[in-house]
A and B are shown apart, each in its own frame.
Chain A
């Protein structure tokens, strides 16, 4: 690559956390200062004070080498074992962990389904350690031996987390500019952004990361976009109080995609298109989950993928996974069951286990989870 083609100046436009997160991410990726990160901070303030971070956030924290202690002290981090989503029929917990164990080629829910249909098993949630902990307000950072696999994310104070990212970004060379009084984007004939004009300064840029929310873009009289056009890349704006956790998730995922496709000044169309393809796939998977939660299974869906998920699950309790899933299988399972679907059939493989063994097995899982949750509650009280 010719040296002259390298991206040396990135300007991020946004507000608070939505701007400081990309700033910190890119500052960590360019530790040697070969790419200057400038952040143009627009006006407006967040209204939410608590943020959910899905388990994948921990990769981002690794990149930043963010100490756990800073998260706890500054961002008031608490562990989280699931998403509490609002659905048409009431709240549904989407757990960060497995339901029971898959066994002999069949998934756990198939075994559960057989017993449940006979009236011999309780709700599926009883067989999920993450769900049990989340309901009890207890936490574990590691899966205890012999328990269904468990993961965790965090509940974070939005202001505290933003302060952490801001300190990190500044400490690694990012510079912020106040644009509360407005700014102007100046493009060349080809539509490429050349400078961001501010009251006190003209910021030249090779690439712009537009991290404003959709609402802010609209308020500025511009057309919101989800993807990457020319040298301007819009950060996804999935933000929904009914389904928390998507904002941080989609910001970090978008930055991961960008780095995997990091351009030079040629800005090849095929690379942008690939970024956009992956971005739209993510949007579609998110939208499927929202549609399901909002409208339940009787709602009309335009999405083939969601229609397939519902029909495959309704028939025999299988989860038809798509490309670039955002939500894990247990989360889909929780959502589909939570929407009131009981599969019409279960997998025949399950019949290999005698009913007696099956009920004993289910009881032992439920019992083990119950005891683990009690211990975790106790431990929390002692601490």
Chain B
């Protein structure tokens, strides 16, 4: 057992530099040295060019100026995700950040909406989302209390170039004293007595020792898996996609303030607008589709000209059985991977970092903190997993063997219970610090044909005409507010336009590589 004086981060992708920047924030005053080892020979995966609103907290914690960050990463703003062809081919819906409508008399908005729907109301759930309305109008502005209660409800995240984000954080971390070592890790040395990691040896013979090691080596998981032998829990029976083919294209339109996720024959295809280009990828299941055919299908669905050859990636959805073991913590892809459908990869890195900081040990030994960390992270993964499975389970598609499989597969009991409650009368209760809330669950369930059959009888407290009038007032208010917003294009031009001279085109464009 020893006092932690040196943290060694192995791997320099998004996870590595996010960790380095975050630990650097407190480490130098606590006399902890941070070293990050990465190699330019090993490509980074650049997970997740799309994010969820929680990232703002991470950036704020680092003291990052948001406009500078947007400029440096060619970012655009994200108000939610449009899903096409998921419930059935030809259908589409919007999963917004933020909330739907306004609650009345202490009862959730969606209960009133469900009742009116049964009485023939034609407006979709998303017509009550400020984010969805703004997204389809191509508008964006940041929430500010002085803009009034309605506009202050905008919730947003970013689309950005993950490689540029890593570079941006690298500059930030190095300025705070993080030492970067260029090199490839060849072997990992363990203490013969307690099995802790002593040091890593690089291909050129140099040895880097440390007290706490952060495994950011991606799917390989050089430390946690190879050296410490922690296994992987495979979830591919629930989430069968295991390959992706990804490439950047030239933009053919003004960047939209939302991500598009279109269901395909054996998976789904993303489209992520950045300031300088568009990111694309087809995530599919190799059990149902050959890579060659996947690439053909992928290319056929692109709009703009390709910027480089498509890259093929493979992965297994699941999680590491332990996230923190002995003196090693796995962050990023080495900790687990769930497909990028709801942009949760970067969030899970961030969640791991903030929990590790909250539970930071000063000696390498105590297992109390490790157990708590592993428990909290496991919950995070499971809650997100269930929400992702919902996207596949809640479908009526029967046009390909892939959709037949996911439509009819058994789902975890935790998800089954949530679906039943939601289906019966639109009830939803969060478990623990669950990430996705009732807005998300309703958006996906309703959007994919699993709308509640009944509603909370408490809504009978308001007369039908009263509810109808209230809903109309809400729509008017939201539409008026959206009309007052600037376009995203104008907003970016005014505050955070990236310098075209710094446009970096080469390199991987996958969010998963």
List chain A positions with a Cβ less than 8 A from chain B. Answer: 1, 6-7, 29-32, 34, 63, 104-105, 259-264, 268, 270-271, 273-274, 278, 308, 311-312, 314-316, 318, 320, 322-323, 345, 347-349, 351-352
Contact = CB atoms under 8 A, between A and B. Distances in A.
Contacts of B424: 268, 270-271
A270 B61 contact: no
A322 B368 CA distance: 16
Contacts of A30: 461
A349 B460 contact: no
Given A323-B431, A352-B30, 19 more contacts: A29-B461, A31-B461, A63-B106, A105-B358, A259-B107, A260-B456, A263-B457, A264-B454, A268-B425, A270-B421, A271-B425, A308-B372, A314-B368, A316-B359, A320-B372, A347-B360, A348-B26, A348-B30, A349-B357
B373 to A, nearest CB: 10
Given A262-B458, A263-B457, A312 B368 contact: yes
A32 B369 contact: no
A104 B458 CA distance: 44
B432 A323 contact: yes
A293 B115 CA distance: 48
6 contacts: A7-B457, A262-B458, A270-B417, A274-B427, A318-B358, A349-B357
Interface of B: 4, 26, 29-32, 61, 106-107, 115, 118, 357-362, 366, 368-369, 371-372, 375, 417, 420-421, 424-425, 427, 429, 431-432, 454-458, 460-461
A318 B359 contact: yes
A262 B371 CA distance: 38
Closest 10 CB pairs of A and B: A352-B29, A270-B420, A323-B432, A311-B368, A315-B368, A262-B458, A348-B30, A351-B30, A264-B457, A349-B26
Given A29-B461, A323-B432, A315 B366 contact: yes
Nearest to A349: B26
B243 to A, nearest CB: 36
A264 B106 CA distance: 19
Nearest to A350: B30
Contacts of B358: 105, 318
Contacts of B107: 259
A270 to B, nearest CB: 4
Given A323-B431, A348-B30, A352-B29, A312 B360 contact: no
A1 B458 contact: no
Contact of B461 (A32, A261, A268, A322): A32
Given A271-B424, A315-B369, A6 B26 contact: no
A308 B455 CA distance: 39
B429 A274 contact: yes
A6 B460 contact: yes
A312 B461 contact: no
A105 B26 contact: yes
A29 B456 CA distance: 13
A318 B369 CA distance: 10
B461 A349 contact: no
B372 to A, nearest CB: 5
Contacts of B368: 311-312, 314-315
Contacts of A323: 431-432
A29 B459 CA distance: 10
A7 B368 CA distance: 49
B360 A349 contact: yes
A6 to B, nearest CB: 6
A309 to B, nearest CB: 10
Nearest to B354: A105
Contacts of A351: 29-31
